[in-house]
Structures are given as C-alpha cells and as structure tokens.
Amino acid sequence: MEKHKIVVLDGYTENPGDLSWTQLEEFGEVTVYDRTAYAESDLIAERIGDADIAVINKTPVSAATIDKCPELRAVFVLATGYNVVDVKYARSKGIDVVNVPTYGTHIVSQYAVSLLMEICSHIGHHDREVKSGRWQNNVDWCFWDYPMMELAGKTAGIIGLGRIGKETARILGALHLEVLAYDAFKSQEGAALAEYVELDELLSRSDIIFLHCPLFPETEGIINRDNIAKMKDGVILINNSRGPLVNEQDLADALESGKVYAAAVDVVSTEPIKADNPLLKAKNCIITPHISWAAKEARQRIMDITADNIRAWAGGKPVNVVN
C-alpha cells in the first residue's frame, strides 16, 4: 500500500487524550497538532506542507491554502459539517473532501432532550442553591425558583425529521408527548413517529420546538421575528443543530418579552461565542459550548469512520466524498 503523509490540524477536540490516533498510522506518517489558529492561513498552509492528506475538524482550508499545498490530495473532516473547506475549489484541483455523515445520532438527540429537561426542572441551578446553604436555612421543607414542568400531554414540534430528528421523536414519544414534524422529505418511518405538518401549523401548535434541520439558504434564520410571532405564547425552543438557524437578536427579544418562555442552545452563529451575542444576556436562555456531539463513544465512532474513509480512499474506492 502506498504510504501517505498525514497531518491532523486541530485534533484536540476529537481526542483530548482519551482516544488514540494509531489507526491513522496504518496509512503512513502522521503528525498531530492539537490546535492551529484558524485566522492564520499561512500557518495552516505551513503545517500541511507537503502532506497529501489533511485531517481537520474546524480548521479552514481555503482556496489560498490549497494553492500553497500542491501535494494535497484529500481533506478528511472529523465531523459531518464541511463548510470550513472550499469544496468547489478543492474539486477543481482534484482534491477530495470527505466527511463523517453519521456518528452522533443517539448522543445528539439525547442532548437535545437533556436541554429540555434542564428547562423543565433547572436541576443544575437547584443543586448549586442547595450547596450554597440555602436549603438548610430554608423555612419550608422544599423550594423551587422556576416553574416545575411536566412534559406528558404537551406537543413538541421537530423541524427536520432526519436521523437525529427521528431519534428525538422516539424519546419524546416515550415521554408521552404528541410529536409534530416539518420536513421537506417525508417517510413512512417518520410518519410512524410524528405527524407531518406544514411549518406554520407546527409553529402554532407546538409547546416545544426542536431544531434538527441542516443549515441551507432556505433554513438560515428560520427562527426569526415573523415565525416567532406565529408560535404559542410561552413556547420553548431547543437548538443543538446549527447556530445560524436562529436570528439571535429576535430570539433574545422574544425571551425578554416572554413570548418565548425559555430557550436552550448548544450552537450559536459564531463559535466560539462572541461577547456581544445577545443570547448571553437574554432571560431564561441556557447556552452550552457546542458539546452535543462530544461523548467519548461518538468521538471514537468519528475516529473509526475517518480511518475507514482513508482506507477506502487509499484503496481507490472513496466513500463519503462531499464534493
């Protein structure tokens, strides 16, 4: 087998030390960088150097970088999303861009429902209050600072009933919620898990709305002032899909007014989050740092699939090529 020169540009989030890169060594020399500054295009090109395979997570590979790396033949993305790569330019240069299309169905849907559970019970908040001494000094035998919410009998709407959306629907069904779904592509499997409706009907009927759709031009900003106005008063929004699906200022305004009772997001428009993001100061908004995917089991799956992707590509039968 031909030996390749492989460079991993931002390996830390995939493998902070609890996994192994040894699978990649089957294919040749491997150099791993924990981090490569995203804004430093010259450094990115320098680190790729004469490698023919670049493995990335969020490090951008632009047309300018590609031009500086004439030996580059493939970019393997340790994720499903590949918008950080100029895929069209890569194709014009004969460079394959390969992703990991399915690895986190169970953990991402689990996390979405966990965000909802936190809104329903605010477990973390009450744990901190107890440990601060408030319970032991309380005049009553219990206390709560937020409404305790029961989910059974409520209606959840899922925008995007793909693999993750279907798994979320299964969990919600087990919790005795009525489940609605809006998706451009309907299936018998989906119809068994949720009632397909048009977007406006989903917005008007749902007590809780989950975003599980990909980011396309037609879905960017799908949660905006106009669509929020169509929702029930006191609706809950969960987004651990893509940050730009939400107009963040419009959501922050709706949280302040109470139109949206609460929101929980694991993704924002620019990551890492900027200090001026309006959701940081919004009422009843839980924000976590894009970690829905990060269970060790899911990261191991990414590692395994990436090795399989490289093996197939090196063998002349590439799979999961996105360009």
Return the active site residues. 242, 271, 290
Going edge to edge, which strands form the sheet with 208-211? 195-196, 178-182, 155-159, 208-211, 235-239, 260-265, 285-287
Residues 60, 57: Cα–Cα separation, whole Å: 9
Task: With beta carbons less than 8 A apart as the criterion, state whether 280 and 273 touch.
Answer: yes
Q: Are 47 and 7 in contact (CB under 8 A)?
A: yes
Q: Hunting for tokens 């680190």 — which residue is that?
A: 47
In terms of Cα–Cα distance, which of 101, 91, 302 is closest to 214? 101
Take residue 165 and report the two structure tokens written for it: 């959306």
Q: Residues of 124-152 as b/e, b for ≥16 C-beta within 10 angstroms?
A: eebeebeeeeeeeeeeeeeeeeeeebebe
Indicate the burial class of 99 (C-beta count within 10 angstroms; 0-12, 13-18, 19 or more).
buried
